[in-house]
Structure 1
């Protein structure tokens, strides 16, 4: 019996799998296969440190080759190609306006803002009222509104609280105000701007983004926005369609005629891809030949959402133009409306 048990144990040991160590040749072959180049140009190495060093070396070699090509193009006499940008690929539609378009000139002479630009209104100086949405604004929005009131001439900041807009407009017509600006906020930051021209309109709604105070700008170095005591120079860029000209005229009507160039203040509304960038600068004359610009702030970005006939009326207002969702209007990257 004992001998039989030993035979069975020996048979079990024979059936057990034999684990052998892998030879060094196999590991070397795996490393050679893993270090091959991929189509993307990177090196697949298992060691992270070695992989980072190889990638940095490859990146430096590519940048050096690009620099050599750039210097060769600069030294050659071949004409430079114009950069291909989305603005240069813009599709011109039927709303694009030429300088001598008679139909557009007729529309301008008959719109609601014609009396102001021809100085036929009762007062040539605009009178603005700036307020917030219903309730009490947050700290950041309150500071932003106060800075806007400082740089916009003849502007009064009114704490709206719970007063309805229609009642405010009636009171403004009696006091001779020309424009109403309402800033709404979301999550503690300004998000919407309404501009309503009195007494006949139009009313435009803008989405307001990237609002920054004067203290947050590097060029201002922590200084607060001072009261603007001069009439600034207004610059309107790239408002080329009928809707764009209408928007530009409404923005220009917020400022008085005859800018005081000696004050050296400039306010710019720059339209690029239907985003209107607001900037406030001042000239700095270093000497007789060199001139610099210092940004004073605040700064923000606007995008037109709708144009409404007449003054603000959320329920029964007649809309002239509305920006619809992406699947209806924003179908092409090279199509713009301003």
Structure 2
């Protein structure tokens, strides 16, 4: 009896082990692991298709019955599950609007003067640095390039202030590649230091367009916090506030997870002819000749349809804020508004802009 119970227990354990699903990462054999992983992936795909089909049927049935379709689930992303931040701007924030009227950029946005930008380099610039600066000059209106030479940045700030420049952009390079941007607001600051990465010049963009001299439209996305709002106003101060919509140029700074993506496009209107064929049948009114009918030949009618498409002009790059300093550039006695430190990156869902 004891041996029989033992055999039954062993058989039950074997059946349980067969039914129990083993994670692919626990399988040591590479071939078996890849087979199990491919099978699981296929099952998930089939299940996903079934759910999508069931959702489509439910929506179609709700429309036929005149009912509201079932609410779609919102996917969980890092953006919509970000940590709560008290500095996020709200539409009814009176303190924010009072601060806007008193900041360093208010005279420019009130159009008391127009933007005038000085672009220079670090003391040791690379081969791709001048090419990047040439494309910046085509993006930013009223921008002028001056060679750095052996001048200190403080002397350049004094010179630019005397010549009525409103901002200075310094392109820093390292190992023959532009790797940082320093933007200095004049005459009283602030100074922002950005890390520059993923630079793609215009010549490397497939089917790129050539920009015109029109003032571009400026699009700023997702600058939601107080710090982000300040950075957005600083970026906007580089461009004139009266865009020429005839030129169809758009400059976009899109903030996502504290990375600012820069894109430069122009939109193009195209007219395409769509041919439609319509067939009509005419029947006689008399009941006697109801069997006889006359068909009218198909008539081709052409209709014009306007299509809008985007053409990228370049360049393409990504910025990440490193520090924001009060006043103009001063590394020794300058007071910083915000500095990024490694210990601040405690969570992937914590953003500052």
- Kindly state the Cα deviation for residue 248 of structure 1 after the two structures are TM-superposed: 0.6
CA 157–43 in structure 1, closer or farther in 2 if over 3 Å, else same: same
**Residue 39 of structure 1 corresponds to which residue in structure 2?**
22
Does the 8 Å contact 2:116/2:165 carry over to 1?
A: yes
| SS of residue matched to 1:76 | helix
Identify the match of residue 78 of structure 2 among 83, 86, 92: 86
1:24-44 Cα deviation digits (max 9, x unpaired): xxxxxxxxxxx9997135997
**Residues 283-302 of structure 1 correspond to what in structure 2 (within 5 A)?**
283-287=267-271, 288-302=305-319
- Kindly state the Cα deviation for residue 63 of structure 1 after the two structures are TM-superposed: 3.1
**Residue 117 of structure 2 corresponds to which residue in structure 1?**
128
**Residues 91-106 of structure 1 correspond to what in structure 2 (within 5 A)?**
91-106=83-98
**Residue 51 of structure 2 corresponds to which residue in structure 1?**
69
Identify the match of residue 164 of structure 1 among 152, 165, 180: 152
Flag the structure with higher strand content: 2
Q: Which runs of 5+ in 2 are unaligned?
A: 1-17, 60-69, 272-304
1:221-242 Cα deviation digits (max 9, x unpaired): xx6xx45410000011111111
CA 289–203 in structure 1, closer or farther in 2 if over 3 Å, else same: same
- Kindly state the Cα deviation for residue 333 of structure 1 after the two structures are TM-superposed: 2.1
| Structure of greater Rg | 1
- Kindly state the Cα deviation for residue 218 of structure 1 after the two structures are TM-superposed: 2.5
- Kindly state the Cα deviation for residue 244 of structure 1 after the two structures are TM-superposed: 0.9
Q: Which runs of 5+ in 1 are unaligned?
A: 1-34
CA 44–166 in structure 1, closer or farther in 2 if over 3 Å, else same: closer
| SS of residue matched to 1:149 | helix
RMSD: 2.5
- Kindly state the Cα deviation for residue 268 of structure 1 after the two structures are TM-superposed: 0.7
| SS of residue matched to 2:91 | coil
- Kindly state the Cα deviation for residue 66 of structure 1 after the two structures are TM-superposed: 3.2
CA distance in 2, matches of 1:192, 1:105: 31
CA distance in 2, matches of 1:175, 1:79: 59
Task: Count matched residues.
Answer: 293
**Residue 204 of structure 2 corresponds to which residue in structure 1?**
216
CA 297–43 in structure 1, closer or farther in 2 if over 3 Å, else same: same
**Residue 249 of structure 1 corresponds to which residue in structure 2?**
233
**Residues 270-309 of structure 1 correspond to what in structure 2 (within 5 A)?**
270-287=254-271, 288-309=305-326
1:135-161 Cα deviation digits (max 9, x unpaired): 2x2212221111111111011122213
CA distance in 1, matches of 2:95, 2:76: 32
CA distance in 1, matches of 2:30, 2:330: 66
- The question of 1:116 aligning with 2:108 is answered yes
- Kindly state the Cα deviation for residue 108 of structure 1 after the two structures are TM-superposed: 0.9
Does the 8 Å contact 1:43/1:55 carry over to 2?
A: no
**Residue 183 of structure 1 corresponds to which residue in structure 2?**
171
Does the 8 Å contact 2:24/2:36 carry over to 1?
A: no
1:29-62 Cα deviation digits (max 9, x unpaired): xxxxxx99971359979796x9877865665455
Q: TM-score, normalised by structure 2?
A: 0.76
**Residue 253 of structure 2 corresponds to which residue in structure 1?**
269
CA distance in 2, matches of 1:244, 1:46: 50
- Kindly state the Cα deviation for residue 206 of structure 1 after the two structures are TM-superposed: 0.8
- Kindly state the Cα deviation for residue 90 of structure 1 after the two structures are TM-superposed: 2.0
